[in-house]
């Protein structure tokens, strides 16, 4: 089945939560955004949805510089992620909590974890898994998917819970053979955790240092939106930062992530790996993020639609389509490898 066919199925299954529109932009007239006023956040952005909208707008205002005269070549999208070769610099974001996008009628939490992790693996890339209020020591579908089903081939991002819990979780994943672990520091603003009385905390540089030192795995901090936080994360010794505002779900009225990415790249490029997400919908958007200076990107809501519509097969087909688009975008802008991509590829 094609990506379009998977999306048609997702549209049925996600009725009332996501309209699977051709443009997923958080606009006020979209189903997901209508859910957020005084109701659970659903699949949309927090509050007015401005942060979600700004993510898409920030990418939209960047244009690509077409450059087609020169040697013929097939662009290479291979990406080295902490010593592991991926087919593309594109991974699946740590989206969790199926109740936000349709619950068991759409897909169960264990099925969702399995589809995102195995689908990514089959496409030669990595599925990240997150953390939500319903996860507990006796309910760990992410662990099952990454460590039991995929032989460790995945990344675990835990909410900024208390330090002892986090250290225990990271140790488990390390022993289960996972590729990397980390925490979404912006999860301290999670409305879903707050609604379910699950405590989450702001993390200090010392807290992050303690977590970095608690594991042998590369440690990732997700939810960085300014140079100051990027420098603080680097000071803590993290291996990677993810420039992200949680898909616009934790603080209303932030700038778009592509806008924030410029100052993060200028502050820490070369020192830590830089990953970006938010509003990335196509291989063209991927190229824009890489041109600003990201090393790789994550797709969030689109991976959900692919998993709901087609399970692991849907996720695999989705990644493969984006990789093809990235190849085309690179060929048409005169770059043959990821290393050749610079800001010269975009007009601001
Ligand atoms: C329903 C939903 C649940 C999410 N859950 C998590 C989570 O548990 N942990 C996390 O780090 N990020 C979570 N995110 C944020 C994503 O990882 C990612 O940053 C975001 O979706 C990227 O934006 P995009 O959806 O526009 O691609 C969630 C996003 C959505 C839409």
305 C-alpha to center of ligand 1: Å? 13
User: CA-to-CA distance for 183 and 224, rounded, in angstroms?
Assistant: 11
Instruction: Check whether 100 has a pLDDT greater than 90.
Output: yes
Residue identifier of the C-alpha nearest atom 21 of ligand 1 = 300
Residue identifier of the C-alpha nearest atom 5 of ligand 1 = 95
- For the chain, which residues make up each domain, given as ranges? 79-347
Share of the chain above pLDDT 90, in %: 94
260-293 pLDDT, tens per residue? 999 999 999 999 999 999 999 999 999 999 999 9
- Position 18 scores a pLDDT of 96
Place of tokens 């993060």: 264
3 state DSSP class of 71: coil
332 C-alpha to center of ligand 1: Å? 31
Are residues 271 and 291 in contact, defined by beta-carbon separation less than 8 angstroms? no
247 C-alpha to center of ligand 1: Å? 5
- pTM for the predicted model, two decimal places: 0.98
Output the 3-class SS for 174-228.
HHCCCCEEEEEHHHHHCHHHHHCCCCCCCCCHHHHHHHHHCCCCCEEEEEECCHH
Residue 138's pLDDT band (cuts 50, 70, 90): confident
Ligand 1 atom nearest to CA at 24 = 26
Residues composing the chain: 348
Out of 20-29, 35-44, 57-66, 201-210, which region has the weakest mean confidence (pLDDT)?
Answer: 35-44
Residue 37's pLDDT band (cuts 50, 70, 90): low
Residue identifier of the C-alpha nearest atom 15 of ligand 1 = 246
147-164 pLDDT, tens per residue? 999 999 999 999 999 999
Kindly state the average pLDDT of the residues 58-87.
98
User: CA-to-CA distance for 301 and 6, rounded, in angstroms?
Assistant: 14
162-192 pLDDT, tens per residue? 999 999 999 999 999 999 999 999 999 888 8
Are residues 107 and 97 in contact, defined by beta-carbon separation less than 8 angstroms? no
- Position 40 scores a pLDDT of 80
65 C-alpha to center of ligand 1: Å? 30
- Position 89 scores a pLDDT of 99
Residue 211's pLDDT band (cuts 50, 70, 90): very high
Mean pLDDT of the chain: 96
- Position 195 scores a pLDDT of 87
- CB environment 254-279: b (16+ within 10 A), e (fewer): bbbbbbbbbbbbebbeeebbbbbbbb
Pocket of ligand 1 (CB under 6 A): 43, 55, 93-97, 100-101, 130-132, 157, 184, 222, 244, 246-247, 249, 277-280, 299-301
Residues 6+ apart with CB under 8 A from 209: 236, 237
Instruction: Check whether 36 has a pLDDT greater than 70.
Output: no
15-24 pLDDT, tens per residue? 999 999 999 9
Among 95, 161, 280, which residue has the most ligand 1 atoms within 8 Å of its CB, making it the best to mutate? 95
68 C-alpha to center of ligand 1: Å? 36
CATH number for the domain formed by residue range(s) 79-347: 3.20.20.70
Instruction: Check whether 307 has a pLDDT greater than 80.
Output: yes
């Amino acid at each position: 089945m094609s990506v379009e066919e998977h999306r048609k199925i997702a549209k049925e299954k996600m009725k009332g939560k996501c309209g699977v529109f051709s443009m997923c932009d958080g606009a006020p007239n979209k189903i997901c955004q209508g859910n957020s006023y005084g109701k659970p956040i659903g699949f949309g952005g927090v509050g007015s949805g401005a942060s979600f909208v700004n993510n898409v707008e920030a990418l939209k205002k960047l244009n690509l510089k077409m450059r087609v005269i020169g040697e013929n070549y097939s662009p290479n999208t291979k990406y080295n992620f902490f010593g592991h070769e991926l087919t593309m610099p594109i991974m699946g974001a740590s989206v969790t909590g199926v109740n936000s996008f349709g619950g068991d009628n759409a897909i169960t939490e264990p099925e969702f974890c399995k589809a995102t992790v195995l689908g990514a693996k089959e496409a030669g890339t990595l599925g990240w898994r997150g953390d939500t209020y319903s996860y507990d020591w006796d309910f760990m579908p992410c662990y099952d998917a990454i460590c039991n089903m995929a032989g460790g081939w995945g990344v675990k991002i835990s909410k900024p819970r208390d330090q002892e819990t986090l250290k225990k979780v990271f140790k488990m994943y390390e022993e289960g053979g996972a590729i990397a672990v980390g925490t979404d520091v912006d999860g301290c603003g999670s409305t879903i955790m707050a609604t379910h009385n699950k405590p989450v905390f702001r993390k200090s540089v010392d807290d992050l240092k303690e977590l970095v030192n608690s594991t042998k795995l590369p440690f990732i901090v997700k939810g960085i939106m300014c140079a100051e936080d990027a420098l603080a994360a680097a000071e803590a010794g993290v291996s990677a930062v993810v420039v992200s505002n949680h898909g616009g779900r934790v603080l209303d009225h932030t700038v778009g992530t592509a806008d924030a990415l410029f100052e993060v790249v200028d502050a820490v490029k070369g020192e830590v790996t830089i990953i970006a997400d938010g509003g990335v919908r196509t291989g063209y958007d991927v190229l824009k993020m890489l041109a600003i200076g990201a090393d790789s990107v994550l797709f969030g809501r689109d991976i959900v639609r692919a998993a709901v519509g087609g399970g692991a097969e849907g996720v695999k087909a989705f990644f493969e389509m984006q990789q093809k688009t990235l190849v085309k975008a690179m060929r048409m802008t005169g770059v043959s490898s990821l290393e050749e991509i610079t800001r010269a590829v975009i007009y601001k």
